[in-house]
Amino acid sequence: MDSKVLRAIERGATIVTSGRRLARQIRLDFANLQRSLGHDAWPSPRVLPWEGWLQRLAEDVLWSGYAPPQGARSLLSQSQERVLWENIVQQSPYNDGLLNVPETARLARDAWTLTQVWRLPDPTAGGAASAEAQAFSRWMRVYYARCREAAWIDQARLPDTLIPAIQTGVVSAPDHILLCGFDQLNPQQVALLGALTKRGATLSRSMGEVRGESVMRASFADTEAELRAAARWVRAQLDADESHTAAVLVPGLAANRRLVTRVFDEVLMPGSALPGSGGMVRPYNISAATVLGDYNIVAAAILVLRLSTGMLSMEQLGRLLRSLYLRGGLSESSNRALFDIWLREQGFFEVPVARMAGLFTQFQNQRGSASNRPVFEACLQSIGPHLAQCRHAHPPSGWVRLYRMLLDAMGWPGDSVLNSGEHQSAERFRELLNDFAALDPVQPAIRADAALSLLERLAADAPFQPLTPDVPVQIMEPLQANGLGFDRLWLSGMTDEAWPPPPRPNPFIPLSWQRDRGMPRATAEQELEFAKNVQDRLVAGSNRVVVSSPLRDGDRELKRSPLIEHIQEASADDMALADVTDFFLALQADMPPERIVDDRGPAVAGFETVQGGTQIFRLQALCPIRAFAEVRLGARPLPRPQPGFDAMTRGRLLHAGLDYIWHRIRSSEVLAAALAGEHLEMQLWEVADTALSVFERKRAASFSRRFRELERARLVRLMLAWLHVESERAPFEVVGTEVEKTIVLGGIETHIRIDRIDRIEGQGLAIIDYKTGEAVPSDWLGERPTEPQLPIYAVSEDEAPVAILFGIVRPGSLGFRGIATTGDAIPKIDAFDSSRMARTHDLEWDALREHWQGVLEGLGEQFAAGHAAVDPKDRNTSCTYCHLSAFCRIDELEAEAGRE
């Protein structure tokens, strides 16, 4: 512990630090010292960060009964200040064209703080002012006027309000004040401290203990190699002496948090990846800039509060249904997941909150679930009485009252016992609700959407990190360590881009003012000087130091910071990095892995009902493991919600419309008469209306009137265009539509539904399958046909067809594609025996059905036998749109094959 700080504490001085972290470190060091001396209890030292010290002085003034000349004033909280600035910016004439009002308000609030701290005049006072300065000047005057009218004081002006109380002796000046970690005192701090010294306080400063022993510099190939070396160095230092403290400073830590966690887990916790290691406690702490809204338990609470808006998107509702932080979240997880799937299949893109309870009951009834009422249904019904109130505007405190009712009704934060981090996060969110309720003085009544948006912004900007046990290794940003001292220190990422940091002057204050007064972050020269001072103090305050930089970032070369050029470069041997055991490689070396080819699942049992139709054969041809996973295991992708109809639903609707119209038009002769008449379009409107009505009755999601009109018009146009294409064919008669059959192929009983079967006059049967997407006849052939649907239809008929056709019904692409025995049956389709397809595959028409029968029997036998090898037909066709790559692990298999 710094001897100067220790002596100050022993004589009862007030220690004021530049930040909370340094204050906590001093208190911890003092407590450790007392314990090492054998003390069981000791007086708490007066160690406070600057902001906390100001709050303490303000409380002393309040309890003294002192009446300032301006009258009694109340102190605004950080949240109240933020909302007040946002409302001022939002309501001003300068709001036009602003893309991000909250961010603009934040910069304006920072500018206001700078004007108070650095004693700046109105930014328009010096003659010609920029548009930004003029806007800020107006906002500043409005802000000050509102504060004066309401008798508010903010954090930026708090020190100035304390000075009169200090000068009059209302606040007793401490005998001695020790400042720790302050690089530069601003004019406001100088004035406050000057008032205290005039009242008899003795002022001194400490820049930290100087204990530097050695410092070395190193370079590494990239950031991961650099972090791994840092972790190995830290481990070696701790292995040598467990009492040491160590820190690793990482610029941009928040962006690299995952990489840092993975690397330090592998090095400092090498067994963490082994089974049974879930309870291990990390020996390091990452002080990344996390915010309250990033924690899962808080995100779940905000999802519950979104119920107040009356509408949830399917994405939001899906996350709510899968959350374990609601009552019954674990015990009903499977049922709620199925409800999520059911809603997506019903076509919901957004779900009205008022309908959720009824929809859940409908879902339960369709599933034939037990009669006892699920917990989730009870939760939904219990929020009903509160939803009516959510339709009105309320002040923030009114919304907090409703929010707490919703959270209680839904059982947040769940049934499980929370761990320490979850408990702290939940408590901090409850505190945030209290802060939100306190916004009434600065925020008038608002509607549900605006209230929740404001709460989300406050959560997204509230820094929060749960308290963790004291650990020997701290990982943080370089500026977070300012003023701290460590036994061992590694400064990483010291490139010329990251160190010194780039300047960030405030856009609302003239740059010349910031430069002339030496204000922080204003110029590159000031940032260079600041970074140099921080680096020198960090190096001097630690016994052993390594400073490092990566050489590359991907394909981009990096240069090290000029601030570390003077440090002597060291090799890996000089740093004495710890050897780390890779348990995976060690296990492989001691016991070579046994390779087991497991490409066969259980065979289809005689009593097992396999549902999938022709899709079974298509998937088996594309890749056997995909057929097994999707059909036998039910590993199908989650339906993706979207507004209106997806492509599959539009295809089904078209099928239904064409089915209805061909029940009226049974032949080419009737079609010709209908096209020549005056009532065909009217019939198509009726057919489209009937098809939409049937779909609407089957779906829980209702259609809006406008959507229904648009879909009906689209369907009529498409069907009319298709009938004109059909009129160009040779004379035909419709034998059947939506023909259902059952066929057994390779032991697999397959239920099929043929879109249409025609009889071409003087020739024979034509089998037609409608397609609204791309389809090519070449996908029917080969030992693994990509589209075996029509071949299955062909072999299911007792009479050999004379034409097998795709009917492409798509705007901009209408027509038939397929094969036929002759060239006059279907327009633009040549006789098969003379076609390129026949020559390529060396097949004649009469042999086609026999070829297909053998191919399909083989695919069916493979599926029935449980053949489930990872064997895609080809990567482009089989894998591009497959969702099972994590299941089949084909990328890992190919990588392993490449290594071998």
Task: Give the 3-state DSSP-derived string for 857-887, with helices as H, strands as E and coil as C.
Answer: HHHHHHHHCCECCCCCCCHHHHHCCCCCHHH
Output the CA–CA distances (angstroms, integers) from residue 659 to 110, 236, 655, 719, 754, in the order listed: 68, 76, 6, 11, 11
- CA–CA gap between residue 402 and residue 863 (Å, rounded): 56
State pLDDT tens for residues 742-754.
999 998 999 999 9
pLDDT of residue 521: 85
Reading the block at residue 73, the tokens are 């004033």
Length of the chain: 900
Asked, as a colleague might, if the bond just before 413 is cis with ω within 30 of 0, I would say yes
Residue 831 buriedness (CB in 10 A; 0-12 / 13-18 / 19+): middle
Output the CA–CA distances (angstroms, integers) from residue 334 to 36, 329, 488, 635, in the order listed: 54, 9, 50, 15
Nearest Cα to Cα of residue 755 among 726, 773, 775, 735: 735
Is the C-alpha dihedral spanning 182, 183, 189, 192 positive or negative?
positive
pLDDT of residue 660: 94
pLDDT of residue 644: 81
pLDDT of residue 465: 84
pLDDT of residue 275: 67
pTM of the prediction? 0.83
pLDDT of residue 282: 84
Output the CA–CA distances (angstroms, integers) from residue 485 to 220, 481, 537, 611, in the order listed: 25, 8, 9, 68
Is the C-alpha dihedral spanning 36, 41, 42, 44 positive or negative?
positive
DSSP 74: E
pLDDT of residue 68: 67
E strand map for 309-438: 311-313, 350-352
DSSP 804: E
Output the CA–CA distances (angstroms, integers) from residue 768 to 542, 757, 825, in the order listed: 81, 6, 13
Reading the block at residue 638, the tokens are 């989650």
- CA–CA gap between residue 565 and residue 896 (Å, rounded): 43
Dmax (CA) of the chain: 118
Q: Is 32 left (phi over 0), alpha (psi -120 to 50) or beta?
A: alpha
pLDDT of residue 142: 95
Report which residue type is found at 106. Answer: R
CA 6, chain centre distance (Å): 46
DSSP 667: B
- CA–CA gap between residue 859 and residue 176 (Å, rounded): 89
Which residues in the chain land under pLDDT 70? 66-72, 96-98, 126-128, 211-212, 273-280, 289, 369-372, 582-590, 592-593, 607, 895-900
Asked, as a colleague might, if the bond just before 500 is cis with ω within 30 of 0, I would say yes
Report which residue type is found at 350. Answer: E
